[in-house]
Amino acid sequence: MLHQLSKGDINMKNKILTVTILLSLIFLFNANKSFADDINRIEGMCGENAVWSYNKETKTLIVSGNGTVTASGISLISDNINTLVVEGSINTIGENAFKGIKVSHIELKEGIRKIENYAFYNCIGPKKIVIPKSVTRIGSGIFELSQGFNNVTILGDVSVGISTFGALYSPVDILEVAGKIDNMANIMMSSEGAAPEVRFINDNKNYSMVNDIIMSKDKKVVYALNGRKNITKIKMPVSVKKIKPYAFYMRGLKSVQLNKNLKYIGEKAFYHNNIQKITIPKNVKSIGKSAFAYNQLTKLNFKGNSLIKIEEEAFYENEKGLKNVVLYNYPRLEKRAFDGNVVIEYEAVKKIAGTIIKVNIKHRRSKYAVAVKKKNESPIKCRIIFKYGKNKKNIVINLPKNKKEKKK
């Protein structure tokens, strides 16, 4: 005899059936979603311990893992990527890692330590990118030949490569700096003269700016000239004692007035400008390699006798040609210090016990010229040495004693 189901049993069975159907639907939905995700997602290795994953539907590229990111596989993504996320577990964004990609937004997570040369070479990128505080090294040309990247924010203290944002072409218009950059001039260098406009943010305590000249906080050291402005004339603030290498490299300057307290002019500080005349103040002790090379100098005036050394090619290849250069106290002239000019006439001037002696020496395109005083020579004798290729000339000048010296 069949047992007749009660109304409660029937309701229970219906509930169980309903739950079973719902669970089946959820399972099928998740299975389909997982299948769809698998279809929409591609992934691969981009370094020994780094992986990338790209979702075709959301157009999001995520780089995770650790170690260094390389270009392996990533460059094959031809889509216009909506978002690129580099996780903070990644140590280094390697050379050419994201070469040629097209992306609307980039998120670099805190924890990344280095961005190597040409990391975003020839990319179409977002207008703004923030480099996190954890980054301590930025290589050369990271945005070379790219579009976008108009506004860059650097939150930490970093060392940088030459032509940081690009030597051939830099898209960076505005650079916001919160920390310290070990060589500000490297960021400003570009063969197109397209240096970014620097803005100091977050109450930056490392720099000051006077008349668009980027300086140390105490205004004694000059780092660079601010960019994105047509500046052709500068007057050095009176507090400056040192001009760092490459400070005004290829900036189109026509007129430069140096200050009286200046002591050191760094390598290529005024390289390849359009300066026609310059006065070196009396307290300057050293002029660096190629400091005034490739300008338009026709007049060069040394004010005093503190100068110890003029380094290699310091005044090399001034197109219009220097003449009548007056040097005081016989500073050391290193290789080709004045080479490549039309005719150089050195007028060496030394004051000995009240007597001023002048010696004129002329030469054309010498390879080496040095003026020295040997330790074992009398204080009233000076030796000037010039080398013309393999030939060497020693000129010993006997300076006359004055009356006071004769009594001794």
**pTM exceeds 0.85:** no
pLDDT (tens, 9 = 90+) of the chain, 408 residues, equals 445 556 566 666 666 767 676 776 665 555 444 444 567 888 888 988 999 999 999 999 999 999 999 977 776 777 889 999 999 999 999 999 999 999 999 999 999 999 999 999 999 999 999 999 999 999 999 999 999 999 999 999 999 998 898 777 888 999 999 999 999 999 888 655 578 999 999 999 999 999 999 999 999 999 999 987 889 999 999 999 999 999 999 999 999 999 999 999 999 999 999 999 999 999 999 999 999 999 999 888 888 778 888 899 999 888 777 766 777 766 777 888 887 775 455 555 555 444 444 444 444 433 333 343 444 443 333 333 333 334 444 444 443 444 443 343
Helix H, strand E, coil C: the string for the chain is CCCCCCHHHHHHHHHHHHHHHHHHHHHHHHHHHHHHHHHHEEEEECCCCEEEEEECCCCEEEEEECEEECCCCHHHCCCEEEEEEECCCEEEECCCCCCCCEEEEEEECECECEECCCCCCCCECCCEEEECCCCCEECCCCCCCCECCCEEEECCCEEECCCCCCCCCCCCCEEEECCCECCHHHHHCCCCCCCCEEEECCCCCCEEEECCEEEECCCCEEEEECCCCCCCEEECCCCCCEECCCCCCCCCCCEEECCCCCCEECCCCCCCCCCCEEEECCCCCEECCCCCCCCCCCEEEECCCCCCEECCCCCCCCCCCCCCEEEECCCEECCCCCCCCCCEEEEEEEEECCEEEEEEEEECCCCEEEEECCCCCCCCEEEEEEEECCEEEEEEEECCCCHHHHHC
